Amino acid sequence: MEDETWLLDLSQYFSMQPYSSNTKARCAIMHLCDFASTWWRIEERKIGLDITTISWELFLERFRARFLSEHWRQRKADEFHNLRQDRMIVDEYEQRFFELRQYIEIVADETMFVYHFVRGLKDYICREVCMHEPKTLHATIEKARIIEENHSSSAGDTIGG
């Protein structure tokens, strides 16, 4: 996820700066490293780009096509659909859920995300969360945290004495 994280960080930074499209592209190009830098030099020559006129939008299009391909995005969507809590705590599971959620291309409503989140929880958490029928993802996550914390503390009480 390095390429994606780099691009996301850069995009967030640019959202706070009044840079022109060309300035954004030039900054991004300046920060390319290793293979990405070599790839870009070849790309510039191949399509006859001029650093003074390249747009941020064109850079994004080319970068995503090369480093975040459709096949890569589909694998991430598959990871989302197959995500299970397993040995993660709810907070770790929530973080991974949100990382992968962005790759779901279909227009999805809150109910679909609640369903997928609950489906991947550990069985004992899933059963108890379902009994409460939370309507929002936030409520679902909070309920899962409480159930996990209660289970951990009661397991600790049982083991300790």
Q: Which of 68, 89, 111 is the last residue of a domain?
A: 68
For residues 19 and 37, state if they share a domain. yes
For residues 149 and 82, state if they share a domain. yes
For residues 78 and 154, state if they share a domain. yes
Dihedral over Cα of 119, 123, 124, 125: its sign? negative
Residue carrying structure tokens 């954004």: 24
The number of folded domains in the chain is 2
b/e map 117-136, b = 16+ CB within 10 Å: bbebbbeebbebbeeeebee
Q: Which of 68, 95, 124 is the last residue of a domain?
A: 68
For residues 51 and 103, state if they share a domain. no
For residues 80 and 9, state if they share a domain. no
For residues 93 and 43, state if they share a domain. no
Residue-number span of the structural domain to which 20 is assigned: 2-68
Does the pTM surpass 0.75? The reply is no
For residues 86 and 152, state if they share a domain. yes
Tokens of 111: 């109910």
Q: What is the pLDDT of residue 10?
A: 86
Q: Which of 11, 39, 68 is the last residue of a domain?
A: 68
Q: What is the pLDDT of residue 70?
A: 75
Q: Which amino acid is at 138?
A: H
For residues 82 and 132, state if they share a domain. yes
For residues 81 and 58, state if they share a domain. no
How far is Cα 82 from Cα 32, in angstroms, rounded to an integer? 33
For residues 81 and 155, state if they share a domain. yes
How far is Cα 50 from Cα 53, in angstroms, rounded to an integer? 6
Q: What is the pLDDT of residue 8?
A: 76
For residues 45 and 97, state if they share a domain. no
For residues 75 and 51, state if they share a domain. no
pLDDT along the chain (161 residues), means of 10: 75 88 92 90 88 89 82 83 95 92 70 91 96 93 96 68 44
Q: What is the pLDDT of residue 1?
A: 44
Q: What is the pLDDT of residue 131?
A: 94
